[in-house]
Structure formats: structure tokens, C-alpha cells
Amino acid sequence: MYRFLTTPRWWGINVFVLLAIPFCVFMGTWQLGKFEDRVDTHQEAEQRPAASSLKAAPLATLLPVDKETSGRSAEARGRFGEQFLVPERDLDGRTGSYVLTLLKTDGGRSLPVVRGWLPTGAKAPAPPSGEVTVVGALQASENPGTKGAHAAGGLPEGQLGMISAAALVNVVTDDVYDAWITLTDSPAGLTPVPASAAAGTSLDVKAFQNLGYTAEWFVFAGFVLFMWFRLARREAEASRDEALGL
């Protein structure tokens, strides 16, 4: 009754099943490993001293920005130059803009400094003149996937879609740091912008997507096995009925 399993058609089905199940199990295990890596990274980040509690360090000693230095208090000295608004940024349930001013450092490069958040319609205060020292939380450059980032372009002059050297390279002539800081103490009229956690150190939606994909791959493996038994049983019943003349 089960001789049909040796036919060429069923050889193809059997090979597919023998390949599909291990592949699904492998992919599910891989996605589970990605989730566990994110959990471990999150736990390590929580066990480290709060970045804001550490003494401010010179900017150069904290670059490039990584999971260890993101959020660290950085110190830089220079003169403020061009200023931009970064629109459509939410803070405490309200929509406004970040006020970003370039700080021409003593080393010659410009550092993007978010001096604070400004409500929609309000006028940004002018930056102080002369030599200044700024202290703020170090942040990695934004990318098109960053929440609030506007990568499509088409913004009015004086506005930026995202905070990154790539976004500034076409609007300023200075050599810009591939990083930025958000001031700890904002001037009057502006609200300090809290630092964001380093990428990959929080249990965000992407982390739980990995867990969901894990379940999906194991479900796929079970579905393949179920369908093989279902097809084999149906074919066996058809063969038995044919042998009985039904």
C-alpha cells in the first residue's frame, strides 16, 4: 500500500521534506540566537554605570561612537557657526524641532550640537558668540531608519531631515564629525533633548521580531511534516480503495 513512496514523484516530495525541515529548524535557531544576543547586550548595558554619571571626557577620546561611548558625556571647545532646524521631532507628546548648531572646534572640524528642542512656531535663540565649551551626551549619526528622520529631502533651506555627516556634507563646507551631542543644559527657550540608547542595546520591536520569526520557522517545519503525513495518508487510502475496486 505504501509502494507509491518509491515513485519518482514521491522521491521529489521526500527530498524536499528532508531538506525543508532542517532548513526551517536552522533558521529558527538562528533567529532565536539573534534574540538572545540582544537580551545579553541589553543586560550588559543595564549593568554598566549610567553614561550620564561618568565624568565628561574630551570628544576625541570617545570617538568613534560605539555601544560603550554612546550616551557618554563629551566635552568640546570652539565657536558656534551655522544653525539648522531638524523638524518633526516629538518630545513629551508634542511636535517641534531640534535646534542644531555647528560648533567649529579647535581642531578645525565642526561638531553638530543639538542645543535643545523648540516648539513648532517658536523662534530659535541665537547661539552665543566667542569661544565656548559645551558638554553633552554623545550620539551616533542618525540614519534613514532612525525614528523621526526625514530622508526624502525637499525640506526648506535651513532645515535638516536627519542629524548626520552625510546630511550635512551637501549644505556646509566644513569637515563634520560623524557624531553629534545633545546639550545637558539648554539655553532659555529650549528644552534639553534626552540622549537615546545605543543601537542594539535595548529590547525594541526588532528584538521581539526575532522572537516572532523563531516561532514562525518552527511552525513552518511542523507544517511541512504535517503536510507530508497528510499527503501520504491520502495517497495510501487511494491505493487501498483502488485495490478493493472502489
* Residue 162 DSSP class: S
Q: Map grid coordinates 560603550 to a residue.
A: 68
Q: What is the C-alpha to C-alpha distance for residues 180 and 174, in angstroms, rounded to an integer? A: 15
First to last CA, the chain: 15
Closest among 23, 57, 22 to 138, alpha carbons compared? 57
Would you give per-residue pLDDT tens digits along the chain (246 residues)? 567 777 888 888 889 999 999 999 999 999 998 888 877 776 665 655 555 566 889 999 999 988 788 888 999 999 999 999 999 999 988 999 999 999 999 888 999 999 999 998 899 999 999 999 999 999 999 988 788 788 776 788 889 999 999 889 888 988 999 999 999 889 888 999 998 876 555 556 677 788 888 999 999 999 999 999 988 888 887 777 677 776
| H or E element at residue 237 | helix 205-243
| H or E element at residue 23 | helix 8-47
Q: What is the pLDDT of residue 223?
A: 95
CB-CB contact of 32 with 211 (8 Å): yes
Taking the domains of the chain in order of start, what are their residue ranges?
Answer: 57-183, 202-245
Q: What is the pLDDT of residue 50?
A: 53
Residue 85, all three cell numbers: 532646524
Which residues, listed in sequence order, are joined to residue 110 by a DSSP beta bridge?
104, 176
CB burial of 70-100 (b: ≥16 within 10 Å; e: otherwise) equals bbbbbbbebbbebbbbbbbbebeeeebbbbb
Q: What is the pLDDT of residue 190?
A: 94
Q: What is the C-alpha to C-alpha distance for residues 59 and 46, in angstroms, rounded to an integer? A: 23
Looking only at the bridges linking them, the beta strands covering 57-58 and 110-119 are unpaired
Q: What is the pLDDT of residue 53?
A: 60
